[in-house]
Homo-oligomer: A and B are copies of this chain.
Amino acid sequence: MRLLHLGDVLGQSGRKAALEALPMLRDRLSVDIAVVNVENAAHGFGVTAKICKEFYDAGADVLTTGNHVWDQREIIAYIDEDEKLLRPWNFPDGTPGNGDYVFKTKSGKKVCVINMMGRLFMDPLSCPFQGADKLFNKHKLGKNVDAVIVDFHAETTSEKMAFGHHCDGRASLVLGTHTHVPTADAQILPNGTGYQTDVGMCGDFDSVIGMKKENSVRKFITKMPSGRFEPAEGPATVCGVYVETDDKTGLAKRIEAVRIGGRLKGSWPSA
């Protein structure tokens, strides 16, 4: 199978680029499933039902989020209506929405998508490592599901790498989100899981993590309240990761970074 995951879509610039790229990527890479992290799609903060629809229409199959999931309050009421829009699984019991979803591809394959959040320098949700154990008990790679994608939304490289190894052999792909900067460490871990510490954002890289740079720099220096942070408006780079899995085991055979447009050096899974 062929899996595609795009990182945090940031504001209008990121939406425009990601919505344009999705149909092209689906087509050129013949992907079986496309997942997009949309936690910053609505002007940098959260996502709306309208934006979700735009992404589904453009070819996204499942949407993931992170710590910004509730920034647009309307999503709290909406999320239970849309089981393809995930929030981190390890929120407290009783939180609206769900954190795992089994998507059926056109060819009838089952792909489990999991959204999980890290805790180091972040909110103390329930343990993502123990949560993963429970979920892998339910979604068994190569048995009841054909592929497993885990979007691990976390701050530090240490927690992300540790989590990757913890999942190794039980997921097709573990990719990090949240830092908005793509890492250059795509690899297949020893037991067969494709891994990249952070997939990077779909946003303008002449910025501070996608937001206009002047305000952010000023705040670091002056420690005074800044005006509202606004998304940078230059052309976005679409950042993603592409994985090919073994049909039998569901493990990764190949992993490649995807980077298209904007200021960053391009990357493309050449044939």
The listed residue with most B CB atoms (<10 A of its CB), out of A93, A119, A180, A184, is A184
With A and B bound together, what is the CA distance between A206 and B190 in angstroms? 8
Contacts of A119 in B (CB 8 A): 124
Q: Mark A207-233, 1 if CB is under 8 A from B, else 0.
A: 111000100110011111100000000
| Residue A152 is within 8 A (CB to CB) of chain B in the complex | no
With A and B bound together, what is the CA distance between A91 and B197 in angstroms? 27
Tally of chain A residues near chain B (CB < 8 A): 62
Contacts of A200 in B (CB 8 A): 184-185
Residue on B nearest A117 in the bound complex, by CB: B223
| Residue A38 is within 8 A (CB to CB) of chain B in the complex | no
With A and B bound together, what is the CA distance between A180 and B198 in angstroms? 13
Given contacts A162-B208, A213-B162, A223-B92, A185 and B181 within 8 Å (CB-CB) = yes
Q: Which of the candidate stretches A20-28, A103-111, A257-265 sits at the interface with the other chain?
A: A257-265
Interface pair B217/A129, CB less than 8 Å apart = yes
Contacts of A125 in B (CB 8 A): 124, 223
Interface pair B92/A221, CB less than 8 Å apart = yes
Could you say which of B165, B197, B224 contacts A95, with CB atoms under 8 Å apart? B224
Within 8 A of B (CB), among A74-133: 76, 91-95, 119, 121, 123-127, 129-130
Interface pair A73/B225, CB less than 8 Å apart = yes
| Residue A155 is within 8 A (CB to CB) of chain B in the complex | yes
Interface residues of chain A: helix, strand, loop or mixed (majority): loop
Given contacts A91-B223, A184-B184, A224-B76, A126 and B127 within 8 Å (CB-CB) = yes
Residue on B nearest A123 in the bound complex, by CB: B223
Interface pair A209/B157, CB less than 8 Å apart = yes
Q: Mark A193-209, 1 if CB is under 8 A from B, else 0.
A: 00001101000011111
Given contacts A76-B224, A208-B158, A264 and B184 within 8 Å (CB-CB) = yes
Interface CB pairs A-B, < 8 A, 14: A71-B225, A73-B225, A93-B130, A121-B121, A125-B223, A127-B221, A129-B221, A130-B221, A155-B155, A161-B181, A161-B207, A162-B208, A162-B213, A181-B183
